[in-house]
A and B are shown apart, each in its own frame.
Chain A
Amino acid sequence: MENVRLPLPTASPPASTAPTAPRLAGDLAIWFFILAELLAFGVFFAAYAFTRANHLELFDAEQQALNRSAGVINTVLLLTASYFVVRAVQAAERAASAQSARWLLAAIGCGLGFVGVKLAEYSAAFEHGISLSSSPFHMFYLSLTFFHFMHVILGLVILVALWNGARQGRYHHGDMNGMETGAAYWHMVDLVWLILFPLVYVIH
């Protein structure tokens, strides 16, 4: 996989055949922020896993009551939003601002879909009397997913800002920093969910 280089879709300057120097996509500051976020989620995940080891029957029984289909729909929505963001970045690089804005709008739609599904899930949980204090599993389920939920909300705010910038033609091949910085944050939100979902909804 390391050496795969697919041809570019459209003709580009001859310079594209030159060896690529390593480059971090986006602002360095966002990457330090992303590392801090990954660390926080990592500690949370480990705390869940080790608490579960001491309450196996409880965790397994209450996990069974979760709406796994909602979890899968949300995984598909986040992955699709991430894919749309990649397409928006690629379009911006081709200076196709209008196209880039449309991809971002589609990504925002998926993110809003995630929020809607999650709110429905929370509302059903509260109806069943589930709260932070109802059990160790529910404490982790609610706090972990809500911590992630807040990141989705911030991610959506960032995507809206990118969409606004793309509509004004702010991003292009020579100036991709803002677009890449926002995209990296969104992908982090997706990356964390890819562990959260199997850990909390599936593994037992």
Chain B
Amino acid sequence: MSAEIHGTPKRATVLWLLLITATLLTWAMGAADVAGRLTILLLAVLSFWKGSVIILDFMALRHAPVLWRALTLGWMILVWALIAIAYWKGLAR
């Protein structure tokens, strides 16, 4: 039933609050002016987790054929991998 694929209001609210918390954490890291390999890793993990909530829950791809999850989550993995490679390249200069 399609009622199941969009989850419950309670679940959506909890996820939204977690997303806001993760955003404030990203902002705090920016404000603290932290940099370096560990920071970019943490920022990437936070951003990846937030994106996966949007993809799996808000876009309801958790209940879609696996190909669509693979394409969208795969896109995020590829983009962050490229950003990480470029960042490392910059550090190595």
B54 touches A187 (CB 8 A): yes
A194 touches B83 (CB 8 A): no
Stretch at the interface among A22-30, A137-145, A159-167: A22-30
Contacts of B76 in A (CB 8 A): 195
B23 touches A76 (CB 8 A): yes
Interface CB pairs A-B, < 8 A, 12: A20-B63, A22-B65, A46-B83, A49-B82, A52-B86, A75-B26, A82-B54, A90-B8, A180-B60, A187-B54, A202-B30, A203-B83
Q: Of the candidates B2, B51, B78, which one forms a contact with A173 in the assembled complex, judged by CB atoms under 8 Å apart?
A: B2
Report the nearest B residue to A196, measured CB to CB. B47
Q: Of the candidates A2, A80, A183, which one forms a contact with B16 in the assembled complex, judged by CB atoms under 8 Å apart?
A: A80
Contacts of A49 in B (CB 8 A): 82-83, 85-87
Q: Does A72 contact B (CB under 8 A)?
A: yes
16 extra A-B contacts, CB within 8 A, seeds A79-B16, A93-B2, A173-B2: A6-B10, A9-B9, A12-B1, A42-B75, A42-B82, A50-B89, A90-B12, A93-B3, A176-B2, A187-B54, A187-B58, A195-B51, A197-B26, A198-B44, A202-B26, A203-B40
Q: Which residues 64-104 in A have Cβ within 8 Å of B in the complex?
A: 68-69, 72, 75-76, 79-80, 82-83, 85-87, 89-90, 93
Q: Of the candidates B8, B20, B79, B90, which one forms a contact with A53 in the assembled complex, judged by CB atoms under 8 Å apart?
A: B90
Q: Which residues 14-47 in A have Cβ within 8 Å of B in the complex?
A: 15-16, 18, 20, 22-25, 31, 35, 38-39, 42, 45-46
- Total contacts A to B, CB within 8 angstroms? 172
Contacts of B29 in A (CB 8 A): 202
**1/0 contact string of B23-66 vs chain A (CB within 8 Å):** 11011011100010001100110110011001111111111111
B1 touches A16 (CB 8 A): yes
**1/0 contact string of B8-20 vs chain A (CB within 8 Å):** 1111110110011
Q: Does A7 contact B (CB under 8 A)?
A: yes
Q: Of the candidates B12, B51, B60, B90, which one forms a contact with A191 in the assembled complex, judged by CB atoms under 8 Å apart?
A: B51
Q: How many residues of A contact B (CB 8 A)?
A: 63
Assuming the A-B contacts A23-B5, A49-B82, A93-B6, are A195 and B47 also in contact, with contact meaning beta carbons closer than 8 angstroms in the complex?
yes
B62 touches A90 (CB 8 A): no
CA distance A4 to B90 in the complex (A): 41
Contacts of A93 in B (CB 8 A): 2-3, 6
Which of the listed residues B16, B29, B54, B65 has the most CB atoms from chain A within 10 Å of its own CB?
B54
